[in-house]
Chain A
Amino acid sequence: MTSGHFIDRLQTGLWQENPGLVQLLGLCPLLAVTSTFINGLGLGVATLLVLTCSNVLVSATRRWILAEIRVPIYVLIIASLVTCTELIFKAWFPALDRSLGIFIPLIVTNCAIVARAELFASRNGIVASFFDGLGMGTGFALLLMAIGFFRELVGKGSLFADFHMLFGGEPLAGLVLVDGGWLLAILPPGAFFSLALAVALKNHLDRKRDAARKT
């Protein structure tokens, strides 16, 4: 594989086949934790870590995995990686771990990760799988951050609150623009609306680009 292929893999994950925006996979954590930017960032990084490692491991072992029992084996690999990630979070980011709660262990059930193992890593080489995991994971993490940013801004009127949960230091209130906001945005319906707006925006941009290409 040439380096052009790797850039292509990254682009596919970031935009063309973004797991959240296009494949609409892994919606449960996407909708549940994105009430603030820092939550989105935390879960995004955790998912990115697990997805990249699981892609590499699945790709490396793909010759020995029997087709009949491949899904349980994927789940075993992913579950052990998630356990490691959870312990890392508990050790270094206890506040963020409490804030994300059950959604760190629940990365096991994130269908975006199993989908990449099944669709890509089990059929491609280690390096390509690594870049695929990197691209897809980054795409997912960026979407989580974008939705978290939007919902925090509209729902609480603040930006980047509680940054200390990830980077340590003194507790930070973030950039408070307005005190209080539009409560609906941080409630569950707000998550659905934000995701729908994000998907609509992506489709709109794609359509505009296609139209520009045609003329």
Chain B
Amino acid sequence: MEFERHEAPHMVPTANVARMMQQVLLALVPAAVAHIWFFGPGLVFNLLVATAACVGGEALMMRLRGRPAVGALSDYSALVTAALLAFALPSLTPWWVTATGALFGIVVAKHLYGGIGFNIFNPAMAGYVVVLVAFPMHLNLWVAPRMGDIDYQFLTILQTLTYTVTGSLPDALTYDDISRATPLDAMKSGLNDLRTTVEIRSLPIMGDFGGVGWEWIGNFIAIGGFWLMVRKVIRWHIPLGVGAGLLIPAGIMWLLSPGTEPSPGFHMFSGAALLCAFFIATDPVSAAASPKGRLVYGAGIGFLIYAIRTWGANVDGVAFAVLIMNMAVPAIDRITRPRIVGHSKDAGTL
């Protein structure tokens, strides 16, 4: 009698790149809504430009490499790169800045290294660093968050679109009217002017931990990140590592000198620290491989963010921290290689 036979695997895994990336995009939605509420519709335009550039760049590179473009585009990874870049850029960014960053991330950082799975550097952060170096003026213009003070000026949807397309503001408004120092900016320049953290924290842009608006976006990013953990899209090692690497030195310095060092809560809820911990550093391709390695990798990023914010020239250091630790990943992987079952610690390495 002939039985029906099945070859292994008998349980087909449901996880694949496209599903993972879809869930990452979904997890960013609440934070995107909060971002649009506080900083206006600029994020939508950034997202559109970055998506067009990322998808276009990916299709072009796949064509040049002689491979089917549809396969690469249907895994959604270019969309995640676009979304992360759009979140990293100020909400008012001219289109050529966004497109430069997106194209550089996809073409140079991703495809010149061999495409998804082979890129050493996180494409979104590589693109961000390039525009940060190439267009410093545009990257420092953050509009004021919606916070209910009297002189709050905001751009309408049409004015935002005009700025994205032409890079110029309406005649009646100047940069000073609509832009504000970010919380990290205010903290850094305030401390340089020998003011105490308590004085700086009493500025109207400051909220409970970070800045008004910023910390709410941070909350929604954290919620999205925890949802990704529950869905097992990301694991807890890298977020914990980033948190520990940032908060432990910040906490020690704050306890030693609370007047001149911002609190750990401020560090966590300002800038891109939470976005980095849950969404940027957890990029599975450019991160370390083993659980122990991921803890080390995350902690390195966290500490570098603290170091750049405290002693560096830039106000936030997420992109640089991620790129520097990307470079360290081969060494981390080598040192934290897990023991092979049945072998002794010394003899069991491959």
- Say if A and B assemble together: yes
A-side residues, CB < 8 A to B, are 182-184, 187, 189, 193
- Kindly state whether residue B130 has any CB partner on chain A within 8 Å: yes
A11 to B318 alpha-carbon distance, docked (Å): 48
Most buried by B among A182, A187, A193: A182
Shortest C-beta distance, B133 to chain A (Å), equals 5
Residues of A near B133 (CB, < 8 A) are 183-184, 187, 189
Residue of B nearest to A189 (CB): B133
Residues of B near A184 (CB, < 8 A) are 130, 133-134
12 A-B pairs within 8 Å (CB atoms) are namely A182-B100, A182-B134, A183-B133, A183-B134, A183-B135, A183-B136, A184-B130, A184-B133, A184-B134, A187-B133, A189-B133, A193-B108
Residues of A near B135 (CB, < 8 A) are 183
A68 to B134 alpha-carbon distance, docked (Å): 50
Shortest C-beta distance, A172 to chain B (Å), equals 27
Beyond contacts A183-B135, A183-B136: 10 other A-B pairs, Cβ-Cβ < 8 A, are: A182-B100, A182-B134, A183-B133, A183-B134, A184-B130, A184-B133, A184-B134, A187-B133, A189-B133, A193-B108
A182 to B133 alpha-carbon distance, docked (Å): 10
Residues of A near B136 (CB, < 8 A) are 183
Shortest 10 CB-CB distances between A and B: which pairs? A184-B134, A183-B134, A184-B133, A182-B134, A184-B130, A187-B133, A189-B133, A183-B133, A183-B135, A183-B136
Residue of A nearest to B135 (CB): A183
Residue of B nearest to A155 (CB): B134
Shortest C-beta distance, B50 to chain A (Å), equals 18
Residue of A nearest to B136 (CB): A183
Interface string of B117-157 (1 = CB under 8 A from A): 00000000000001001111000000000000000000000
Shortest C-beta distance, B216 to chain A (Å), equals 34
Shortest C-beta distance, A46 to chain B (Å), equals 30
Within 8 A of A (CB), among B25-77: none
Residues of B near A189 (CB, < 8 A) are 133
Shortest C-beta distance, B345 to chain A (Å), equals 40
Shortest C-beta distance, A35 to chain B (Å), equals 15
Residues of B near A193 (CB, < 8 A) are 108
A144 to B100 alpha-carbon distance, docked (Å): 26
Shortest C-beta distance, B136 to chain A (Å), equals 8
A183 to B138 alpha-carbon distance, docked (Å): 12
A189 to B100 alpha-carbon distance, docked (Å): 15
Residue of A nearest to B132 (CB): A184
A193 to B104 alpha-carbon distance, docked (Å): 11
Within 8 A of A (CB), among B77-125: 100, 108
Interface string of B300-338 (1 = CB under 8 A from A): 000000000000000000000000000000000000000
Shortest C-beta distance, A63 to chain B (Å), equals 49
A33 to B309 alpha-carbon distance, docked (Å): 32
A189 to B133 alpha-carbon distance, docked (Å): 10
Residues of B near A187 (CB, < 8 A) are 133
Shortest C-beta distance, A26 to chain B (Å), equals 25
A184 to B108 alpha-carbon distance, docked (Å): 15
Most buried by B among A183, A184, A187, A193: A184
Residues of A near B134 (CB, < 8 A) are 182-184
A181 to B133 alpha-carbon distance, docked (Å): 12
Residue of B nearest to A185 (CB): B134
A183 to B135 alpha-carbon distance, docked (Å): 7
